Structure 1
């Protein structure tokens, strides 16, 4: 299995969401919140695609990469999952570094909030990412779907109806 930035994001958000996504159960196409995020992504920086490059490399897809300055630009709707967003970008930086890009950096952009957050990859982050890769593989290759987490963030998740459609708690 090839690990993507989405795997890293979902690992931080919810292991169940990660498992469902990795096992081909995708609910994003039914979510109004996901659709809103795509609109923000597509409309916030209308000329960006002319200026920056889209890269697909080792399972990751970076929509906006400044090749000249080696900067990944990642656009997000809100800061509600900021740690997940940070690790998604750090994983992109890790993959770029593994492919010979020296000292790539990232910028998380929240256009609705008019905020940006610089992202760098430290030596400790490299170790953490290697460990996370192992954990992501173990989680997603398991035959058992992780349990529902019963968190307030579940209400805004595209998998909400799936997770809370009558599963019996053990």
Structure 2
């Protein structure tokens, strides 16, 4: 069921994906528990569908739960936790909550740097997003100038 939901999501069939993802999430919560990594994945998938439907509040509710449980169950710097932080930051950005989004994305970038290193695609992508968002706030894109490697120390301060 989860694979079919993923296929629907990839095809942009959000309503079909949502129906299956809700079933998968409920089943996993019942069988595996609320904080099992597979349950958290199903919650994150449903939140992604909600984001794509423009249902920001529904997405946020799930993403906050996923992030909190991921931090508790997997640790602050686990790749799944970092992904949940990134997703929540994007949702807050789409909701117009720029300051909160930037703060969380900054935390995500710092954790990605510590855990994954400066050359990891997730660090580079999150850093570019943060630079763009901070540029919107300040009128400049300080992290986008030059290579990211020149700015590694700035990012983790």
For normalisation by structure 1, the TM-score amounts to 0.30
More helix by share: 2
Q: Which has the higher contact order (CA 8 A, sep 6+)?
A: 1
More strand by share: 1
For normalisation by structure 2, the TM-score amounts to 0.32
